[in-house]
């Protein structure tokens, strides 16, 4: 493995490049981004050695790190053009639609469907961090459909980046991410909207905001260009998670309305157990 090509040089693509360059300085990196500014920043920050809209013929691994609504067409285009020994890996947050789109492609064995569980509320190459992927989970879907030799090359990369591998079906991935990732972003965006709407009547409301509000609304600073396509692509699972969330909110509201302090206390005590679960996941 000598040459890496990255399409999408934002937070994930840029962080991947920085980390792998440090771990394997002998590698050569090329890349492209639809944003001219992102491409210029990636070159300035040393994420890539040169820009190339086309995938160079000698590329060993292609990384697709663009919004999910672009991945289907980019993946098929890349698979049509790459050589027989080139591996294509995507970093998309939804997997079912993408895996179906490439299911019958003659080079399907050269694709690895992946998702690094890492990120921040910031976007673009300047938000990239060398240690963003360190010790983070990397989910692989349909592992058995990727060529063994090429899969071994991918494992070398993940080991170099100190990532933890998990294996899931695409459908299971999308359903679970709707609850533990996509729903949390929607909640944060809507909390931000609720307070912004309130601000129209009370200009001083943000003077009252403390660390709890800041941490809860943090994800509302995430890139809409990335998250709007995720919500559309994973619509059915997100609607299921939203329905359950709204039902819980309504039930909690009713307890407050009824001034039922005992049930509020019992419910919150039960929910506190999630702290133990999250601690075990570290």
Rounded to 5 degrees, what are φ and ψ at 67? -55, 150
The reply to whether the predicted model has a pTM over 0.85 is: yes
> Measured between alpha carbons, how far apart are the two ends of the chain, in Å?
32
Q: Which residues does 271 contact at the CB level (< 8 Å), separation at least 6?
A: none
Q: Are residues 18 and 157 in the same domain?
A: yes
Domain stops at, among 145, 168, 191: 168
User: Over the range 125-156, which residues count as b (16 or more CB within 10 Å of their CB) and which as e?
Assistant: bebbeeebbeebebbbbbeeebbeebbebbee
Shared domain check, 201 and 110: no
Q: Tell me: do 16 and 139 sit in the same domain.
A: yes
Give the span between the Cα atoms of 37 and 121, in whole angstroms: 19
Same domain, 49 and 149: yes
Vertex 19 angle, CA 17 and 21, to 5°: 65
- pLDDT at 208 (0 to 100): 64
What pLDDT score was predicted for residue 213? Answer: 80
**What is the structure's pLDDT at 199?**
75
146/203 same-domain check: no
Q: Are 141 and 114 in contact (CB under 8 A)?
A: yes
The CATH number of the domain where 197 resides is what? 1.10.3660.10
Asked whether residue 64 falls in the same domain as residue 26, the answer is yes
Q: Domain range for residue 256?
A: 172-280
Below-70 pLDDT ranges, the chain? 201-210, 279-282
According to DSSP, the β-strands at 164-168 and 61-64 are unpaired
Considering the domain architecture, whether residues 72 and 200 belong to the same structural domain is answered as no
**According to the model, what pLDDT value does residue 203 have?**
63
Q: Indicate whether 40 and 160 sit together in one domain.
A: yes
Yes or no: say if 144 and 120 are a contact pair by the CB < 8 Å rule: no
Tokens of 29: 């990196």
What is the C-alpha separation between 140 and 261, in angstroms, rounded?
45
7, 13 Cβ separation under 8 angstroms: yes
Specify the pLDDT at position 275: 81
Is there a single domain that holds both residue 189 and residue 234? yes
Same domain, 15 and 124: yes
Q: Mark which of 149, 168, 187 sits at the end of a domain.
A: 168
CATH of the domain at 52: 3.40.50.720
Cα separation, 258 vs 169, in Å, equals 43
Q: Would you say the C-alpha torsion 92, 97, 99, 101 has a positive or negative sign?
A: negative
- Structurally, how many domains does the chain consist of? 2
CA 82 centroid distance within chain: 25
Tokens representing 126? 């300047």
Among 67, 83, 134, 142, CA closest to 112: 142
Answer yes or no: do 122 and 28 share one domain: yes
The whole-number pLDDT of residue 276 equals 81
Of 168, 187, 207, the domain-final residue? 168
Q: Are residues 46 and 98 in the same domain?
A: yes
Q: Long-range contacts: 215-218, Cβ < 8 Å, 24+?
A: 216/187, 216/188, 216/191, 217/188, 217/191, 217/192, 218/121, 218/188
Residue 19, number of CB atoms within 10 A of its CB:
22
């Amino acid at each position: 493995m000598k040459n890496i090509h990255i399409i999408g040089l934002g937070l994930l693509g840029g962080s991947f490049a920085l980390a792998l360059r440090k771990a394997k300085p002998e590698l050569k990196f090329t890349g492209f981004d639809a944003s001219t500014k992102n491409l210029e920043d990636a070159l300035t920050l040393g994420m890539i050695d040169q820009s190339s809209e086309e995938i160079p013929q000698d590329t060993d691994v292609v990384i697709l790190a663009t919004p999910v609504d672009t991945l289907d067409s980019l993946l098929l285009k890349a698979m049509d053009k790459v050589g027989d020994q080139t591996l294509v890996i995507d970093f998309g947050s939804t997997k079912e639609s993408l895996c179906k789109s490439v299911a019958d492609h003659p080079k399907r064995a050269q694709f690895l469907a992946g998702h690094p569980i890492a990120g921040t509320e910031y976007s673009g190459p300047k938000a990239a961090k060398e240690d963003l992927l360190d010790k983070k989970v990397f989910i692989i879907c349909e592992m058995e459909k990727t060529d063994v030799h090429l899969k071994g090359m991918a494992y070398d990369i993940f080991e170099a980046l100190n990532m933890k591998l998990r294996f899931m079906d695409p459908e299971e991935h999308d359903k679970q991410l709707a609850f533990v990732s996509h729903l949390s972003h929607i909640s944060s965006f809507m909390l931000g909207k609720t307070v912004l709407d309130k601000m129209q009547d009370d200009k001083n409301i943000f003077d009252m905001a403390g660390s709890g509000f800041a941490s809860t609304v943090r994800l509302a600073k995430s890139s809409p260009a990335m998250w709007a396509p995720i919500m559309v692509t994973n619509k059915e699972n997100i609607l299921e998670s939203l329905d359950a969330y709204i039902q819980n909110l309504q039930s909690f509201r009713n307890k407050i309305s009824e001034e039922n302090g005992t049930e509020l206390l019992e419910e919150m005590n039960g929910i506190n157990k999630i702290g133990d679960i999250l601690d075990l996941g570290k």
